[in-house]
Structure 1
């Protein structure tokens, strides 16, 4: 593990003492920043930006230069893997991601390749290594991927924002078909994250955006068990690299999530942080969980909301402050700054003697 000037984030994930609570934001490099919008315009479109390692580096560093954050996160998208599988990914203005060739039968699943991170996804690895070089020893870099269930949802539905009827129909009527798709995605995500670590990621996060739409038993079978296989793979090949799991609306599953061997769990704002800490004990660190909509409130209200999150977790290490999901597009950048400054100013009181 490289020696970093600021390693609060990594120490908090390992529940080691820190002088203050580390903070970063999901989607911290994004549309709410004018400098990001300028770079994206230069790239031409979203996927062109994702496929340009130098521009990915530029937008990854933008929030670090603006705010005093404790971690960088790779600028990319969770759909890079299904895109590399040849499904014809497009981003439609006002609609989001669309696949020209959704996967809905046995033949289509059998034909799916497991993308090689060093060929089909080389642009992501080049972005990781470019960002790592630019960061030097300044901060840790987070790599990430979508969870198999979440990727499968997009691949079967053909788009986002659905009622999940197709993917749930497959799960209920032909579970062996979905198992085959998830197995390919487990293999793909495992080697993808392994390659990101080899390229310079100091921690990795699995985004399970749609796991919360499943009933408990289905969540375990179709979402959690595939993620547990990914964690097991990463712990074999890179045992010192922290792994974060985040299931949106997954607060009821924290105990079983903590049993996967991951290092930390991300929480959205629908889960009480104090209750979560009681339930998982010292098994994992916790990350979150301010509602992103709080950043549309006044600075004083934002500071009060930050204080409540810190109070909810309480004293000691093992907490990474974050939003409960990605920062919203029209968030005033200065309000994000208020939140970060409040964490910096208020959190040392929760780490006495560190």
Structure 2
């Protein structure tokens, strides 16, 4: 490799600054022991830089939900479909293996998000600090939001039953963003749908304990107890 090529690579910025989870950089192939040719290495570096500079991919890599087609209209609701539990067979297999592994020495805890929390991602398109769009929808398109939340509630109930049937001892429902609603709005847009899920699950598996956790729930404890859950998670 010519000296000017090495100098050119050394001058390139590290990929770590673009959101990479590891301190990668465009190290020359000969210096790194890579079998790639110099042109192939340059192409790989350029591709990786593009990927890591894409905010959607960076968010996904960090575990943040990314919805590329948020639902804001009746047309968007047409994309909804019942949960396909056959595609989740790998989760069922994992639960069965885990249940067998722990035996009677530990309990297997299943978990899922609450309808309101999942709806915030679907409507906002990802994480948010203001929840402006979905809160506005409560007033401007309540029928749309009710349809979305009802759909999510049924899917979540089906998923809870699925987890129980494959070996989960206990279920925890996370309403991570339920605390963002004032108490009266939470009664209408979050609590009622959680209660529907619990009622559906308890009809099938009344002995399965259900835990409810709401982020920032200090002022909601009295309102949480009549959802039908067995345990309230404290924030």
Q: Does TM, scored on the shorter chain, surpass 0.5?
A: yes
Q: Quote the Cα distance in structure 2 between the aligned partners of 1:157 and 1:254.
A: 27
RMSD: 2.2
CA offset at residue 128 of structure 1? 1.5
Name the counterpart of 1:103.
71
Structure with bigger helix share is 2
CA offset at residue 143 of structure 1? 0.5
**Structure 2 residue aligned with 1:220, among 155, 171, 187?**
187
Q: State the TM-score, normalized to the length of structure 1.
A: 0.49
Name the counterpart of 1:114.
82
CA offset at residue 98 of structure 1? 1.1
Structure 2 CA distance for partners of 1:97 and 1:90, relative to 1, 3 Å: farther
Could you list the runs of 5+ residues in structure 1 that have no partner in the other structure? 1-40, 42-87, 269-354
Deviations 1:255-312 (A, max 9, x none): 22111111010110xxxxxxxxxxxxxxxxxxxxxxxxxxxxxxxxxxxxxxxxxxxx
Q: Quote the Cα distance in structure 2 between the aligned partners of 1:109 and 1:267.
A: 34
The answer to whether the aligner puts 1:157 opposite 2:155 as a matched pair is no
Name the counterpart of 2:149.
182
Structure 2 CA distance for partners of 1:89 and 1:179, relative to 1, 3 Å: farther
Q: Quote the Cα distance in structure 2 between the aligned partners of 1:108 and 1:167.
A: 14
Larger Rg, first or second structure (1 or 2): 2
Q: Quote the Cα distance in structure 1 between the aligned partners of 2:178 and 2:61.
A: 25
**Structure 2 residue aligned with 1:260, among 222, 227, 230?**
227
Select the structure with the greater relative contact order (CA < 8 A; seq sep ≥ 6). 1
Contact 1:115–1:121 (CA under 8 A) maintained in structure 2: no
Name the counterpart of 2:45.
none
Name the counterpart of 1:210.
177
Q: State the TM-score, normalized to the length of structure 2.
A: 0.72
Q: Matched residue pairs, number?
A: 182
Structure 2 CA distance for partners of 1:185 and 1:139, relative to 1, 3 Å: same
**Structure 2 residue aligned with 1:230, among 197, 205, 229?**
197
